[in-house]
Structure 1
Amino acid sequence: MGTTQEFSSIYGRWLTGATALLAVVAMVVTLLQEGAEQTLRLLPVTGAIVLVVWALFWRPAVEVSDGEIVVRNVLATVRIPWPAYRGVTVKYSLVLHTTGRDVTAWAAPRSSATGRWLRSSRRRPASAEPRREHGSAEAVAEAVVDRHDALAAAGYLRGAEVARVAGDLRPVRSWHWATIAGTVVLAALATVTLG
């Protein structure tokens, strides 16, 4: 029916790229000035920094599709099927109300007045391809409400409550264990190598 929309922080992607570039520069400079041994000692520190910045600023996103809303936060991803969706609120960030616990989207903070003005002044035409958009809470809330209304108007959500109860449809949270473990391991290695 509609294209999948992905909302994330453009600034976060730039910040992550800049951090990774600085880490590479630091490693090369250390290699040239201090040698391979010092470079290997620095590797866990730079790796931990890049991983944490990536987890905080690159990875978080909100996807709105015909089948579900996917909220990818720092430590976990929550999949919300439309029958489990109950509403949306914009507070300091986007809050999705569900049949389970409310889900706050890290990638969708409330925008400033300047940010809203800049985004409204450069609206893009609709496209048939999936697209990535800036993840302000207001923009994501509008997309969620519009998609829900379109699905309901087309009849796709008719009987959603019965399907939700019969199929035990509810938000599903999956933890980012690899990211968590990688951060812990790199932090421990950094402590050992620099200590």
Structure 2
Amino acid sequence: MRPTLTFSSGYGRVLTVAAGVVALGAVVAVWVQDGAGEVLRALPLAGGVALAIWALFWRPAVVVSDGGVLVRNPFRSTHVPWPTYRGLTVQWSLVVHTTDGDVTAWAAPRSSGTAARMRRSSDDPVVAAPTQDARLPATAEDVAAAIDARHRELTDAGFLRDAERARTAGGIRPERHWHVATIAALLALTVAAVAVLATA
């Protein structure tokens, strides 16, 4: 079994931690200055901002495995089994083509022009995939290279020889799941924050 590669934004993780620290600091400042009663009023706004930044910048990822490609976006994830994979393109971000339409990866933006000119050589460990499960920085080009390499390896090894027949016989399709808990929590915190601000 080949390693599972998880591509996500290192910058997004730093931003999320920084936002969490700022939100916590704001709540502590309110507590020190105005007392515990005001903390309850500050929590919905601070919590909502921290949760939104986590959903937008920490959670998104693209996971490449022998089972397919998982595109985890802020509010919805799509698992693309290899029999449903139809290729990819790099536009403003990575776009995975499937039998049920296209899936855009929030976590894999295209490199800037400067970054493209400074592209790593082909013997870079990100391009030459690791030999064990790993978390790697996400750019559309690196993720595309990993997906293409994994698909080619599985095809060359014969694992996808009957993929089309298996797809039609088994009704295999990309699986989409909304992140219901995250959406509900954001809505609840937003409503609570608006209510607090309206009574300020």
Tell me the residue number matched to 1:115: 115
Tell me the residue number matched to 1:98: 98
SS at match of 2:40: helix
Q: TM-score, normalised by structure 1?
A: 0.95
Tell me the residue number matched to 1:131: 134
Q: Answer whether contact 2:7 2:136 (CA < 8 A) is retained.
A: yes
Check if 1:179 corresponds to 2:177. Answer: no
Q: Give, as a single letter, the amino acid of the residue that structure 1 aligns with 2:165.
A: V
CA drift of 1:114 comes to 3.1
Give identity over the alignment, percent.
Answer: 51
Work out the CA distance in 2 between the residues paired with 1:65 and 1:27.
41
Deviations 1:57-97 (A, max 9, x none): 00000000001100000110000000000000000110000
Mapping for residues 6-17 of structure 1, pairs under 5 Å: 6-17=6-17
Where structure 1 has 5 or more consecutive residues not aligned to the other structure, the ranges are none
Work out the CA distance in 2 between the residues paired with 1:129 and 1:168.
31
Q: TM-score, normalised by structure 2?
A: 0.93
Work out the CA distance in 2 between the residues paired with 1:40 and 1:100.
45
Q: Give, as a single letter, the amino acid of the residue that structure 2 aligns with 1:139.
A: D
Deviations 1:88-142 (A, max 9, x none): 0000110000000110000011011333466627944754321111111101111
Count residues with an aligned counterpart.
195
Q: Answer whether contact 2:44 2:190 (CA < 8 A) is retained.
A: yes
Q: Give, as a single letter, the amino acid of the residue that structure 2 aligns with 1:158.
A: R
Q: Give, as a single letter, the amino acid of the residue that structure 2 aligns with 1:137.
A: A
Tell me the residue number matched to 1:192: 195
SS at match of 1:170: coil
Q: Answer whether contact 2:70 2:80 (CA < 8 A) is retained.
A: yes
Q: Give, as a single letter, the amino acid of the residue that structure 2 aligns with 1:52.
A: A
Work out the CA distance in 2 between the residues paired with 1:101 and 1:36.
51
Out of 161, 173, 185, which is 2:164 matched to?
A: 161
Check if 1:21 corresponds to 2:24. Answer: no
Work out the CA distance in 2 between the residues paired with 1:181 and 1:65.
30
Work out the CA distance in 1 between the residues paired with 2:141 and 2:154.
20
For the structure 1 residues 123 and 163, does the alpha-carbon distance in structure 2 shift closer, same or farther, using more than 3 Å as the test?
Answer: same
